[in-house]
């Protein structure tokens, strides 16, 4: 349902100079309207309303040429969004929720739109634009890999519940261990090791129920970035704040996504029209609290491999920090250029400073503090 597929007779964005012959950077709303009138019947009704609202919002009679190019490329700039939101024309058609006769796939797309987007105009745009190509492959692939590694490890250890208590658990090359912190891959690969089926189960449920819809709307690149940033922040936070403990599980990434989603709902409470949002937020917070409580209990439970303690819970907090900073900016800017957002660069800079600080901490602090670390597994 992309615009270029719907309207094959529309001019190619590379040949749109005819609408701005004087190279002024603007085109007249009259030319814009004439194009809509010529091809409006070929557009999705929702998109046609959005484009008309753009034309009506410019009382000076001109539209930014770059907005027009982006429009024909199915992209929306910040100025385009502001023109819609501040326009003097209201979208008058019925909301998506009121539409009848939708197929199962259309109802699913509509449900995802209402789950993740706070503005009706964004929901309509997403509903008309989504093609399921590519599918939400990132979260599904990560989940399948985590399950596969857990099953393999369970067979190898002959233990599936509380695997972390097995004496040979930490010998796996994927686990982050403070004595092996120079092996950089461990700061990321620890997500494929879980403390037990109870740990894996909750993480898988959360990242599928929250991560897949978010990826359907915002794409694999953005959601994958938030997830991986949460994972790395989680292991680095442990290396700084809980220096003697190992780390396992994907909770850093999961908590980054869930925290960003919950924060976005709270910040756009009146606009979010997902059903039972208060109850569902309460259930999500209870599940996160139970998982965090389990991690805290396990951390201070007598270790199965003294003097090394059980895995740390600090990775959860690192994920939350990423979610309420970088994650919120991503979710609040649907189809907008993140590089145009000053808040995005502020949080990216903060994240980079934290990563650099943690790297230098790992290089120098362990020796300066004369910390007694547990022996390598």
150-153 long-range contacts, CB within 8 A, separation 24+? 150/192, 150/193, 150/194, 150/197, 150/200, 153/193
Q: At residue 84, does pLDDT exceed 70?
A: no
The per-residue pLDDT for range 308-353, each reduced to its tens digit, is: 999 999 999 999 999 999 999 999 888 788 888 899 999 999 999 9
pTM of the model as a whole: 0.80
* Other beta carbons within 10 Å of 79: 14
Average pLDDT of the residues of the chain: 83
The per-residue pLDDT for range 111-146, each reduced to its tens digit, is: 999 989 988 878 887 888 888 888 999 999 999 999
Tokens 């937020």 locate to 281
Average pLDDT over residues 78-98: 53
What string of H, E and C letters represents the secondary structure of the chain?
A: CCHHHHCCCCCCHHHHHHHCCCCCCEEEHHHHHHHHHHHHHHCCHHHHHHHHHHHHCCCCCEEEHHHHHHHHCCCCCHHHHHHHHCCCCCCCCCCHHHCCCCCHHHHHHHHHHHHHCCCHHHHHHHHHHCCCCCCCHHHHHHHHHHHHHHHHHHHHHCCCCCHHHCCCHHHCCCCECHHHCCCCCHHHHHHHCCCCHHHHHHHHHHHHHHHHHHHHHHCHHHHHHHHHHHHHHHHHHHHHHCCCCCECCCHHHHHHHHHHHHHHHHHCCCCCCCCCHHHHHHHHHHHHHHHHHHHHHHHHCCCCECCECCCCCHHHHHHHHHHHHHHHHHHCCCCCCHHHCHHHHHHHHHHHHHHHHHHHHHHHHHHHCCCCCCCCC
251 is catalytic: yes
The per-residue pLDDT for range 268-286, each reduced to its tens digit, is: 888 888 777 888 888 889 9
Out of 251, 259, 261, 310, pick the active-site residue. 251
166 is catalytic: no
Q: Compare 283 and 83 and report the one with higher pLDDT.
A: 283
């Amino acid at each position: 349902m992309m615009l270029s597929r719907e309207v094959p007779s529309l001019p190619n964005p590379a040949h749109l100079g005819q609408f701005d012959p004087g190279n002024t950077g603007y085109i007249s709303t009259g030319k814009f309207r004439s194009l809509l009138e010529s091809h409006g019947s070929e557009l999705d009704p929702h998109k046609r309303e959005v484009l008309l609202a753009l034309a009506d919002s410019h009382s000076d009679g001109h539209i930014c040429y770059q907005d027009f190019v982006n429009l024909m490329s199915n992209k929306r700039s910040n100025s385009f969004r502001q023109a819609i939101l501040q326009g003097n024309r209201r979208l008058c058609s019925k909301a998506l929720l009121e539409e009848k006769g939708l197929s199962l796939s259309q109802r699913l797309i509509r449900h995802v739109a209402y789950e993740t987007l706070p503005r009706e105009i964004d929901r309509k745009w997403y509903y008309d634009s989504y093609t399921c190509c590519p599918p939400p492959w990132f979260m599904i692939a990560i989940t399948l890999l985590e399950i596969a590694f857990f099953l393999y490890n369970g067979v190898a250890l002959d233990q599936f519940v509380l695997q972390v208590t097995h004496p040979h658990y930490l010998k796996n090359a994927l686990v982050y261990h403070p004595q092996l912190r120079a092996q950089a891959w461990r700061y990321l690969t620890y997500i494929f090791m879980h403390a037990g089926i109870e740990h894996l189960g909750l993480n898988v449920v959360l990242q599928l129920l929250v991560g897949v819809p978010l990826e359907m709307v915002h794409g694999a690149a953005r959601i994958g970035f938030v997830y991986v940033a949460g994972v790395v922040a989680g292991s680095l936070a442990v290396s700084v704040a809980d220096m003697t403990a190992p780390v396992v599980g994907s909770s850093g990434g999961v908590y980054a996504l869930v925290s960003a989603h919950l924060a976005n709902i709270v910040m756009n409470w009146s606009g979010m029209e997902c059903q039972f949002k208060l109850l569902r937020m309460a259930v999500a917070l209870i599940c996160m609290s139970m998982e965090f409580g389990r991690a805290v209990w396990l951390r201070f439970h007598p270790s199965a491999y003294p003097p090394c303690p059980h895995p740390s819970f600090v990775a959860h907090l690192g994920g939350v920090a990423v979610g309420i900073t970088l994650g919120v900016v991503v979710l609040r800017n649907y189809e907008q250029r993140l590089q145009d957002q000053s808040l995005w660069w502020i949080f990216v800079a903060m994240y980079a400073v934290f990563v650099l600080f943690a790297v230098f901490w790992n290089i120098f602090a362990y020796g300066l503090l004369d910390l007694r670390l547990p022996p390598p597994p």
